[in-house]
Amino acid sequence: MSTVVCPVDEAHALHLDAVDPLPARRADFHVPPTTAGGYAEVAYLAGNSLGLQPRATRAALEQELADWARLGVEGHLEAGRPWKPYHELLRDPAARLVGALPAETVVMNSLTVDLHLMMTSFYRPTPERYAIVVEDSTFPSDSYAVQSQARLHGLDPAEAVVRLRPRPGEDCLRTEDVLGFLRREGHRVALVLFGGVNYLTGELMDVPAITAAGRAAGAVVGWDLAHAVGNVPLRLHEWGVDWAAWCHYKYVNGGPGAVAGCFVHERHIADRTLPKLQGWWSTDPATRFAMGPDVAPVDTADSWQLSNPPILAMAPVLVSLRMFDEVGMEALRDRSVRLTGYLADLLATACADVSARVITPADPRRRGCQLSVRITRTPAEEVCARLRHEHGVIADARPPDVVRFAPVPLYCTHHDAWRAATALAAVLSSGPLSSGSGETHDA
């Protein structure tokens, strides 16, 4: 830890909450209960894995269930929010959240399905240009996906997939090293696919710089924004990103396994030469129910859709997207910088004498709200179990040695951050776990 000294008293945390210019909307969410540490609610710092449930979600789902009960099949056209065009309700708020044009945005499927659909169109290897560049610590599902795409094209993943590693002794990739690789080796790169925020380290990648370098090298540049959407401001259209995909169940609080989203830049959406997997919802909605045998293409991201929208999965996402519209991503980012900076200072002070080290970049411009702490001497799963059972703090373990804390600005408070830092210091300063089990969550 660094030598930063921060007041570690509870009163200071409560004061910061009282004077914050954008208070948390904690009352708008269901916060899990606890009895640990004398608290009624947990300090929930695992929104990087699964966001909390907005209180408005239940009513939205109940409306769809009531319309289904009342109308049956007629709900496709007569429900309060008709089901046939339901995905269109999510288009504009999703586009605003990622900095896209509405025509470039579609909410559909799950994240890895969308990654495969995008790579079907945009990974077109040749004998000279075939490499897929990822960060070495990319999320395993992305690693599996790019390896399988290489195999589909008859390539050896060990040769086709290039994994960029941090410098020896460092935890995060340097932007200049990524740009240097693309200048030197870009002639053989077909696709660059990084996570906007790395799931393990919490590093916010320089999306505009890497996108520009990749495209200048002649590659297609895509982004997995699972840990970036709802966490940091994005301007995908302005930055010239070729395509991106993301989920809505982390920072966007759309529920476990929530339907995902896709972006395709407008320069591609009218390109009829791009190969695509297609289905019923890929065709022009004006003639969809004519039931013809051939697709009538549309020049929007909708043309990458396959199936009719899952209404009960989309309703929670719609609720959450509207909440982001109400608050604004820029205001949330400002609050996130304050809140995450406070937690970083607390960790540096409270844990100065224990075996813990923050591996997330210290520069707020190079991180979102996640702070990853590398623990020595005690397994990360054991630490997270003790945080929950002894202190009522829910964090997230990435075995073997990383504990992730995400003070999500929508619902976390400075007091939550104080509870997390002081609990971690207490756990690491005490003896080994005597009961309970380790816990991990989704990425």
- pLDDT by position in tens, the chain (length 443): 444 557 888 999 999 999 999 999 999 999 999 999 899 999 999 999 999 999 999 999 999 999 999 999 999 999 999 999 999 999 999 999 999 999 999 999 999 999 999 999 999 999 999 999 999 999 999 999 999 999 999 999 999 999 999 999 999 999 999 999 999 999 999 999 999 999 999 999 999 999 999 999 999 999 999 999 999 999 999 999 999 999 999 999 999 999 999 999 999 999 999 999 999 999 999 998 888 899 998 999 999 999 999 999 999 999 999 999 999 999 999 999 999 999 999 999 877 767 789 999 999 999 999 999 999 888 999 999 999 999 999 999 999 999 999 999 999 999 999 999 999 999 998 865 544 444 566 66
The helix/strand/coil state of 269 is: helix
- Which structural domain range is residue 136 located in? 82-248+260-308
The pLDDT of residue 439: 56
Classify residue 442: in a domain, yes or no. no
Parallel/antiparallel/unpaired status of strands 105-107 and 161-164: unpaired
Can you read off the two tokens belonging to residue 269? 């959406």
Please answer whether residues 28 and 55 qualify as being in contact, where contact means their C-beta atoms are separated by less than 8 angstroms. Answer: yes
Q: Are residues 159 and 29 in the same domain?
A: no
Q: How far apart are CA 97 and CA 234, in angstroms?
A: 7
Instruction: Count the residues in the chain.
Output: 443
Q: Cβ(390)–Cβ(427) under 8 Å?
A: yes
Query: Do 242 and 378 share a domain, yes or no?
Result: no
Amino acid, single-letter form, for residue 187: H
pTM of this prediction?
0.94
Residue 1: what pLDDT?
44
Are residues 401 and 359 part of one domain? Answer: yes
Rounded Cα distance between 236 and 289, Å, is: 33
65 belongs to a structural domain = no
Residues 180 and 283 in one domain: yes
Overall number of domains in the chain: 2
pLDDT at 110: 97
Instruction: Write down the pLDDT at residue 258.
Output: 97
Question: CB–CB of 186/99 below 8 Å?
Answer: no
Q: Are 164 and 237 in a shared domain?
A: yes
Q: Which two tokens stand for residue 401?
A: 């040695």
If asked whether residues 228 and 347 sit together in one domain, one would say no
CB 343 within 8 A of CB 371: yes
Query: 290 vs 280, 283, 293, 296, 324, CA distance in Å?
Result: 11, 11, 9, 11, 37
- Is 243 exposed, middle or buried, given 0-12, 13-18 or 19+ CB atoms closer than 10 A? buried
Q: Do residues 357 and 216 share a domain?
A: no
Q: 120 with 198, same domain?
A: yes
Q: Maximum distance among all alpha carbons in the chain?
A: 70
Residue 60, in any domain of the structure? no
Kindly state whether residue 59 falls inside one of the protein's structural domains: no
DSSP string for 370-382? -EEEEESSS-HHH
Task: Identify the three-state secondary structure at position 261.
Answer: strand
Q: Structure tokens of 176? A: 């200049």
Q: What H or E segment, with its residue span, contains residue 98? A: helix 87-98
Quick check: is 318 in a domain?
Answer: no
Strands, DSSP E only, in 321-420? 356-358, 371-375, 393-394, 396-398, 402-405
Residue 440 lies in a domain: no
Question: Do residue 120 and residue 202 come from a single domain?
Answer: yes
User: What's the DSSP call for residue 203?
Assistant: B
- Tell me whether residue 112 is in a domain: yes
Residue pointed to by tokens 């200049």: 176
Confidence (pLDDT) at 2: 45
Same domain, 108 and 234: yes
User: Does 394 map to a domain?
Assistant: yes
Domain identity same for 140 and 42 = no
User: Which CATH number do you get for residue 354?
Assistant: 3.90.1150.10
CA atoms within 13 A on the CB side of 171: 19
Instruction: Please answer whether residues 188 and 129 qualify as being in contact, where contact means their C-beta atoms are separated by less than 8 angstroms.
Output: yes
Instruction: State whether 135 and 35 are in the same domain.
Output: no
Specify the pLDDT at position 432: 59
For every residue of 380-396, DSSP letters joined together read: HHHHHHHHHHHH-EE-E
CATH number of the domain to which 162 belongs: 3.40.640.10
